[in-house]
Amino acid sequence: MKNNTYINRRQFMKLAAAVSAGLILPRHAFSTSTQIQKAIPSSGEMLPVIGMGTSRTFDAEGDSELLSRLLKVTQTFFDMGGGMIDSSPMYGSAQQVIGQLLPKVQGKKNLFAATKVWIDGKEEGIEQMEKARQLWGVKQFDLMQIHNLVDWETQLETLKQMKADGKIRYIGITTSHGRFHSELETLLPKHDFDFLQLSYNIANRDVESPLLSIAQDKGIAVIVNRPYKRGDLFSHVNGKPLPTWAQEFNCSSWGQFFLKYVVSHPAVTCAIPATSKVKHMKDNMQAGRGLLPTAKQRVQMLKYFESL
Protein backbone atom coordinates (compact mmCIF):
# COMPACT_ATOMS: atom_id res chain seq x y z
CA MET A 1 0.00 0.00 0.00
CA LYS A 2 1.24 3.48 -0.86
CA ASN A 3 0.43 5.97 1.85
CA ASN A 4 -0.62 9.60 1.48
CA THR A 5 0.74 11.27 4.61
CA TYR A 6 -0.01 14.90 5.24
CA ILE A 7 3.13 15.82 7.14
CA ASN A 8 6.50 16.44 5.58
CA ARG A 9 9.62 14.40 6.22
CA ARG A 10 11.02 16.76 8.84
CA GLN A 11 7.74 16.76 10.75
CA PHE A 12 7.58 12.99 10.50
CA MET A 13 11.03 12.55 11.99
CA LYS A 14 10.14 14.81 14.90
CA LEU A 15 6.93 12.89 15.52
CA ALA A 16 8.28 9.40 14.79
CA ALA A 17 8.61 8.29 18.39
CA ALA A 18 5.02 9.16 19.22
CA VAL A 19 3.64 7.85 15.95
CA SER A 20 5.46 4.54 16.11
CA ALA A 21 3.87 3.96 19.50
CA GLY A 22 0.46 4.60 17.97
CA LEU A 23 0.03 7.94 19.72
CA ILE A 24 -2.14 10.75 18.44
CA LEU A 25 -0.28 13.34 16.39
CA PRO A 26 -0.04 16.80 17.94
CA ARG A 27 -3.00 19.04 17.18
CA HIS A 28 -0.88 21.62 15.37
CA ALA A 29 -0.05 19.02 12.70
CA PHE A 30 -3.59 19.12 11.32
CA SER A 31 -5.98 21.33 9.43
CA THR A 32 -9.71 20.64 9.28
CA SER A 33 -9.30 18.87 5.93
CA THR A 34 -6.33 16.72 6.95
CA GLN A 35 -6.76 12.97 6.89
CA ILE A 36 -5.70 11.52 10.21
CA GLN A 37 -3.29 8.60 10.06
CA LYS A 38 -1.51 6.53 12.66
CA ALA A 39 1.48 4.27 12.43
CA ILE A 40 1.62 0.50 12.59
CA PRO A 41 4.04 0.17 15.51
CA SER A 42 5.95 -2.82 14.11
CA SER A 43 6.84 -1.02 10.88
CA GLY A 44 6.00 2.69 11.06
CA GLU A 45 3.74 2.35 8.01
CA MET A 46 0.88 4.85 8.18
CA LEU A 47 -2.80 3.91 8.02
CA PRO A 48 -5.91 6.11 7.88
CA VAL A 49 -7.68 5.81 11.22
CA ILE A 50 -10.99 4.95 9.56
CA GLY A 51 -11.19 1.71 7.60
CA MET A 52 -14.14 -0.34 6.39
CA GLY A 53 -15.61 -3.48 7.88
CA THR A 54 -17.67 -5.96 5.83
CA SER A 55 -19.45 -8.07 8.44
CA ARG A 56 -23.15 -8.44 7.51
CA THR A 57 -23.13 -5.52 5.06
CA PHE A 58 -21.14 -7.22 2.27
CA ASP A 59 -22.89 -10.60 2.41
CA ALA A 60 -24.67 -9.61 -0.80
CA GLU A 61 -24.02 -12.23 -3.47
CA GLY A 62 -27.00 -12.42 -5.83
CA ASP A 63 -28.58 -9.16 -4.63
CA SER A 64 -28.05 -6.83 -7.58
CA GLU A 65 -29.56 -3.78 -5.87
CA LEU A 66 -27.37 -4.19 -2.79
CA LEU A 67 -24.28 -4.88 -4.91
CA SER A 68 -24.88 -1.64 -6.79
CA ARG A 69 -25.11 0.27 -3.50
CA LEU A 70 -22.00 -1.42 -2.14
CA LEU A 71 -20.03 -0.39 -5.21
CA LYS A 72 -20.96 3.24 -4.51
CA VAL A 73 -20.03 2.75 -0.84
CA THR A 74 -16.65 1.27 -1.79
CA GLN A 75 -16.02 4.01 -4.36
CA THR A 76 -16.77 6.64 -1.72
CA PHE A 77 -14.44 4.91 0.73
CA PHE A 78 -11.49 5.14 -1.65
CA ASP A 79 -12.44 8.61 -2.95
CA MET A 80 -12.21 9.87 0.63
CA GLY A 81 -8.81 8.29 1.25
CA GLY A 82 -9.79 4.92 2.67
CA GLY A 83 -7.22 2.17 3.07
CA MET A 84 -8.03 -0.87 5.19
CA ILE A 85 -10.84 -3.19 4.18
CA ASP A 86 -11.37 -5.99 6.69
CA SER A 87 -13.24 -9.23 6.04
CA SER A 88 -13.43 -12.90 7.01
CA PRO A 89 -14.62 -16.26 5.68
CA MET A 90 -17.14 -15.98 8.54
CA TYR A 91 -18.96 -13.17 6.71
CA GLY A 92 -20.87 -15.21 4.15
CA SER A 93 -20.20 -13.99 0.60
CA ALA A 94 -18.39 -10.81 1.71
CA GLN A 95 -14.98 -11.82 0.34
CA GLN A 96 -16.44 -12.78 -3.01
CA VAL A 97 -18.31 -9.47 -3.15
CA ILE A 98 -15.13 -7.52 -2.37
CA GLY A 99 -13.43 -9.31 -5.25
CA GLN A 100 -16.28 -8.36 -7.56
CA LEU A 101 -16.30 -4.71 -6.55
CA LEU A 102 -12.61 -3.81 -6.36
CA PRO A 103 -11.96 -3.96 -10.13
CA LYS A 104 -14.94 -1.65 -10.70
CA VAL A 105 -13.67 1.10 -8.40
CA GLN A 106 -12.44 4.08 -10.39
CA GLY A 107 -9.32 6.08 -9.59
CA LYS A 108 -6.70 5.51 -6.95
CA LYS A 109 -7.09 2.63 -4.51
CA ASN A 110 -4.70 2.60 -1.55
CA LEU A 111 -5.99 -0.80 -0.52
CA PHE A 112 -4.76 -2.37 2.69
CA ALA A 113 -6.28 -5.85 2.38
CA ALA A 114 -7.07 -7.53 5.70
CA THR A 115 -8.86 -10.80 6.23
CA LYS A 116 -8.85 -13.77 8.57
CA VAL A 117 -8.30 -17.50 8.86
CA TRP A 118 -11.16 -19.18 10.71
CA ILE A 119 -10.74 -22.93 10.72
CA ASP A 120 -9.03 -25.81 12.52
CA GLY A 121 -5.99 -27.51 10.98
CA LYS A 122 -2.82 -26.44 9.21
CA GLU A 123 -3.66 -27.59 5.68
CA GLU A 124 -7.25 -26.46 6.05
CA GLY A 125 -6.00 -23.02 7.10
CA ILE A 126 -3.64 -22.75 4.14
CA GLU A 127 -6.43 -23.76 1.77
CA GLN A 128 -8.87 -21.27 3.29
CA MET A 129 -6.39 -18.39 3.02
CA GLU A 130 -5.56 -19.21 -0.60
CA LYS A 131 -9.25 -19.31 -1.44
CA ALA A 132 -9.64 -15.89 0.20
CA ARG A 133 -6.78 -14.49 -1.87
CA GLN A 134 -8.42 -15.75 -5.04
CA LEU A 135 -11.81 -14.37 -4.04
CA TRP A 136 -10.34 -10.93 -3.36
CA GLY A 137 -8.23 -11.06 -6.51
CA VAL A 138 -5.12 -9.75 -4.76
CA LYS A 139 -1.51 -10.88 -5.07
CA GLN A 140 -1.08 -10.95 -1.30
CA PHE A 141 -2.87 -9.87 1.84
CA ASP A 142 -1.42 -7.03 3.81
CA LEU A 143 -2.81 -8.51 7.02
CA MET A 144 -3.92 -12.04 7.88
CA GLN A 145 -5.62 -12.46 11.25
CA ILE A 146 -6.55 -15.50 13.33
CA HIS A 147 -10.28 -15.08 13.78
CA ASN A 148 -11.59 -15.46 17.34
CA LEU A 149 -8.49 -17.45 18.33
CA VAL A 150 -9.64 -20.53 16.38
CA ASP A 151 -6.76 -23.06 16.48
CA TRP A 152 -4.48 -20.09 17.03
CA GLU A 153 -1.30 -21.99 17.84
CA THR A 154 -1.44 -23.97 14.60
CA GLN A 155 -2.41 -20.99 12.47
CA LEU A 156 0.21 -18.72 14.05
CA GLU A 157 3.02 -21.03 12.95
CA THR A 158 1.64 -21.00 9.40
CA LEU A 159 1.33 -17.22 9.39
CA LYS A 160 4.90 -16.78 10.64
CA GLN A 161 6.14 -18.85 7.73
CA MET A 162 3.92 -17.00 5.25
CA LYS A 163 5.26 -13.69 6.50
CA ALA A 164 8.85 -14.92 6.21
CA ASP A 165 8.10 -16.06 2.65
CA GLY A 166 6.60 -12.69 1.70
CA LYS A 167 3.09 -14.08 1.21
CA ILE A 168 1.58 -11.76 3.83
CA ARG A 169 2.92 -8.57 5.39
CA TYR A 170 1.43 -8.57 8.88
CA ILE A 171 0.05 -11.10 11.38
CA GLY A 172 -2.94 -10.45 13.62
CA ILE A 173 -5.37 -12.05 16.02
CA THR A 174 -8.97 -11.08 16.69
CA THR A 175 -11.85 -11.35 19.10
CA SER A 176 -15.35 -9.95 19.28
CA HIS A 177 -16.24 -11.86 22.43
CA GLY A 178 -15.39 -11.03 26.02
CA ARG A 179 -14.84 -14.69 26.85
CA PHE A 180 -11.53 -14.60 24.94
CA HIS A 181 -10.12 -11.57 26.73
CA SER A 182 -8.42 -13.48 29.52
CA GLU A 183 -6.75 -15.81 27.02
CA LEU A 184 -5.51 -12.83 25.01
CA GLU A 185 -4.08 -11.27 28.15
CA THR A 186 -1.93 -14.37 28.51
CA LEU A 187 -0.85 -14.93 24.93
CA LEU A 188 -0.24 -11.40 23.65
CA PRO A 189 2.86 -10.75 25.77
CA LYS A 190 4.36 -14.06 24.67
CA HIS A 191 3.96 -13.82 20.89
CA ASP A 192 4.85 -11.33 18.19
CA PHE A 193 1.58 -10.16 16.67
CA ASP A 194 1.56 -7.05 14.50
CA PHE A 195 -2.18 -6.46 14.98
CA LEU A 196 -4.91 -7.10 17.52
CA GLN A 197 -8.56 -6.66 16.57
CA LEU A 198 -11.25 -6.33 19.21
CA SER A 199 -14.55 -4.64 20.07
CA TYR A 200 -14.38 -1.22 21.71
CA ASN A 201 -16.72 1.76 21.91
CA ILE A 202 -17.72 4.56 24.24
CA ALA A 203 -20.26 2.32 26.01
CA ASN A 204 -18.06 -0.80 26.16
CA ARG A 205 -14.61 0.03 27.44
CA ASP A 206 -13.69 -3.25 29.11
CA VAL A 207 -10.66 -3.75 26.86
CA GLU A 208 -8.95 -0.52 27.94
CA SER A 209 -7.32 -2.41 30.78
CA PRO A 210 -5.43 -4.54 30.31
CA LEU A 211 -5.73 -5.40 26.58
CA LEU A 212 -5.21 -1.94 25.10
CA SER A 213 -2.46 -1.31 27.62
CA ILE A 214 -0.74 -4.58 26.69
CA ALA A 215 -1.00 -3.75 22.98
CA GLN A 216 0.48 -0.30 23.51
CA ASP A 217 3.31 -1.62 25.67
CA LYS A 218 4.07 -4.45 23.23
CA GLY A 219 3.86 -2.29 20.10
CA ILE A 220 0.82 -4.03 18.60
CA ALA A 221 -1.49 -2.12 16.27
CA VAL A 222 -5.15 -2.21 17.33
CA ILE A 223 -8.13 -2.46 14.99
CA VAL A 224 -11.50 -1.71 16.56
CA ASN A 225 -14.64 -3.49 15.40
CA ARG A 226 -18.20 -2.66 16.50
CA PRO A 227 -17.35 1.00 17.25
CA TYR A 228 -21.09 1.76 17.18
CA LYS A 229 -21.97 -1.28 19.31
CA ARG A 230 -23.90 -2.59 16.30
CA GLY A 231 -25.98 0.59 16.19
CA ASP A 232 -26.99 0.58 19.86
CA LEU A 233 -25.13 3.83 20.51
CA PHE A 234 -27.42 5.72 18.14
CA SER A 235 -30.48 4.49 20.03
CA HIS A 236 -28.93 5.82 23.23
CA VAL A 237 -28.56 9.35 21.80
CA ASN A 238 -31.70 9.43 19.66
CA GLY A 239 -33.20 12.91 19.84
CA LYS A 240 -30.35 14.19 22.00
CA PRO A 241 -28.30 17.21 20.90
CA LEU A 242 -24.67 16.87 19.88
CA PRO A 243 -22.69 19.10 22.27
CA THR A 244 -21.53 22.34 20.70
CA TRP A 245 -18.01 21.81 22.03
CA ALA A 246 -17.67 18.79 19.69
CA GLN A 247 -16.88 21.36 17.00
CA GLU A 248 -13.54 21.90 18.76
CA PHE A 249 -12.33 18.60 17.27
CA ASN A 250 -14.19 18.93 13.96
CA CYS A 251 -17.11 16.72 14.92
CA SER A 252 -20.50 17.41 13.36
CA SER A 253 -22.50 14.20 13.95
CA TRP A 254 -23.02 11.49 16.53
CA GLY A 255 -21.35 8.96 14.24
CA GLN A 256 -18.22 11.10 14.10
CA PHE A 257 -18.43 11.61 17.87
CA PHE A 258 -18.37 7.85 18.49
CA LEU A 259 -15.60 7.16 15.98
CA LYS A 260 -13.39 10.00 17.14
CA TYR A 261 -13.71 8.77 20.71
CA VAL A 262 -12.50 5.31 19.66
CA VAL A 263 -9.61 6.28 17.41
CA SER A 264 -8.35 8.98 19.78
CA HIS A 265 -7.34 6.31 22.28
CA PRO A 266 -3.53 6.24 22.03
CA ALA A 267 -3.42 2.46 21.60
CA VAL A 268 -5.95 2.36 18.73
CA THR A 269 -4.67 2.43 15.17
CA CYS A 270 -7.83 2.05 13.11
CA ALA A 271 -11.60 1.54 13.43
CA ILE A 272 -13.59 -0.44 10.87
CA PRO A 273 -17.26 0.58 10.91
CA ALA A 274 -19.43 -1.28 8.41
CA THR A 275 -22.17 0.28 6.31
CA SER A 276 -24.16 -0.28 3.13
CA LYS A 277 -25.14 3.38 2.74
CA VAL A 278 -23.11 6.07 0.99
CA LYS A 279 -24.24 8.83 3.36
CA HIS A 280 -23.04 6.80 6.32
CA MET A 281 -19.72 6.05 4.62
CA LYS A 282 -19.20 9.78 4.02
CA ASP A 283 -19.92 10.47 7.67
CA ASN A 284 -17.60 7.67 8.81
CA MET A 285 -14.75 8.93 6.67
CA GLN A 286 -15.25 12.51 7.84
CA ALA A 287 -14.51 11.26 11.37
CA GLY A 288 -11.00 10.54 10.13
CA ARG A 289 -10.31 14.18 9.27
CA GLY A 290 -9.31 17.30 11.16
CA LEU A 291 -8.58 17.00 14.86
CA LEU A 292 -8.99 14.19 17.36
CA PRO A 293 -10.14 14.90 20.91
CA THR A 294 -7.50 15.34 23.57
CA ALA A 295 -7.37 13.18 26.69
CA LYS A 296 -9.27 15.89 28.55
CA GLN A 297 -11.89 16.09 25.84
CA ARG A 298 -12.29 12.29 25.86
CA VAL A 299 -13.26 12.51 29.54
CA GLN A 300 -15.72 15.26 28.65
CA MET A 301 -17.19 13.10 25.86
CA LEU A 302 -17.68 10.14 28.16
CA LYS A 303 -19.31 12.21 30.89
CA TYR A 304 -21.70 13.77 28.40
CA PHE A 305 -22.62 10.42 26.84
CA GLU A 306 -23.26 8.85 30.24
CA SER A 307 -25.44 11.79 31.28
CA LEU A 308 -27.90 11.19 28.44
| Contact partners, residue 77, CB within 8 Å, separation at least 6 | 52, 85, 281, 285
Compute and round to an integer the Cα radius of gyration of the chain.
18
What is the pLDDT at residue 224?
98
| Contact partners, residue 13, CB within 8 Å, separation at least 6 | none
pTM of the model: 0.90
Return d(Cα 131, Cα 136) in angstroms, integer.
9
Which H or E run includes 180?
none
Ramachandran angles phi, psi of 225, nearest 5°: -100, 165
Question: Which of 131-137's residues contact partners 24+ apart within 8 Å by CB, and which partners?
Answer: 131/89, 132/87, 132/89, 132/95, 134/99, 135/95, 135/96, 135/98, 135/99, 136/87, 136/95, 136/98, 136/99, 136/102, 137/99, 137/102, 137/103
Residue of 65, 69, 115 whose CA lies nearest to 90: 115
What is the pLDDT at residue 31?
52
| Contact partners, residue 285, CB within 8 Å, separation at least 6 | 50, 76, 77, 80, 81, 82
| Mean pLDDT, 10 residues at a time, the chain of 308 residues | 39 41 44 86 98 97 97 98 97 98 96 98 98 98 98 98 98 91 96 97 97 98 97 96 98 98 98 98 98 98 98
Return d(Cα 168, Cα 166) in angstroms, integer.
6
Q: Residue 109 to residues 3, 182, 275: CA-CA distances in angstroms?
A: 10, 38, 19
The domains located in the chain, with CATH, are 36-307 (3.20.20.100)
